[in-house]
Every structure is written in structure tokens, then in C-alpha cells.
Amino acid sequence: MIPKLITARWLKKQKACSSQVVLFSAKWPHGAEPTEANLVEAPELGLDLCWLATKLPRPLWAEYERQGAPLLAEYERQDNLLLAECERQRALLGAECERQQALLLARLIAQAAHDREEKP
């Protein structure tokens, strides 16, 4: 059960990761109510709300999972699109880098050949 005021002490009792307790305490040294505003800010601070959700009573946890599933699915869909685009852009960038390196190598080889021809 999540209390009306979450404190570092409560987090420690619930076996939260020490790094999470440190992050929480830095922002809310005297604790924080689990309000919408605080919960929206928490991930921006690096706090893990999925862990906190596991402290909900079982029926609410199940509802959290049920309603969160489409959100996670959409995140994964968009993340996969971004990863594919990133890979496409990296391939283009890599090909252009190799092309530029080939041009540089060709110029330097030509320069070396020219320098050999000029030496008596």
C-alpha cells in the first residue's frame, strides 16, 4: 500500500534501491505526497514509477498493468520506428564517410605517385 506521504524511510522499508532513495531525498527531503504533479515530475528526476506501482493493492496493480499495456505497446512501436530510422541514417552516414575516405586515399595515392615521378 502506498502511503499518503512517501518518505525516504518508507522507501527504505520497502527495499527501494539506495540510488532511488538518494534521488527522492534530494528533491523531497521531508517526503512527498503521491500527487499527480509529483508523480509526473518523478521520472524527470530519474525515479522509477514502475517500482512504485508494484506497491499498489493487487486489484489496482492489475488495472495499472491493463491500462498501461497499450501505452507501453505504443512506446515500443514508436521506439522501433526511431531505431530503424537511426540505423538507416547511420548507414547513410557510414557510406558517406567511407566515400570521403576513399576520395582522400585516392588523392594521397595520386600525390605519392606524382612525388615519386618528380624525384630524380
Residue 67 lies in a domain: no
In a domain, 87, yes or no: no
| 25 within domain boundaries | yes
* DSSP per position, the chain: ---SSB-HHHHHHTT--HHHHHHHHHH-TT-B---HHHHHHHHHTT--HHHHHTTS-HHHHHHHHHHHHHHHHHHHHHHHHHHHHHHHHHHHHHHHHHHHHHHHHHHHHHHHHHHHHH--
Over the chain (120 residues), the average pLDDT of each successive run of 10 is 97 97 98 98 96 96 96 98 98 98 98 88
Q: Is residue 103 part of a domain?
A: no
Domain assignment present for 3: yes
pTM of the model: 0.69
Structural domain range at position 19: 1-55
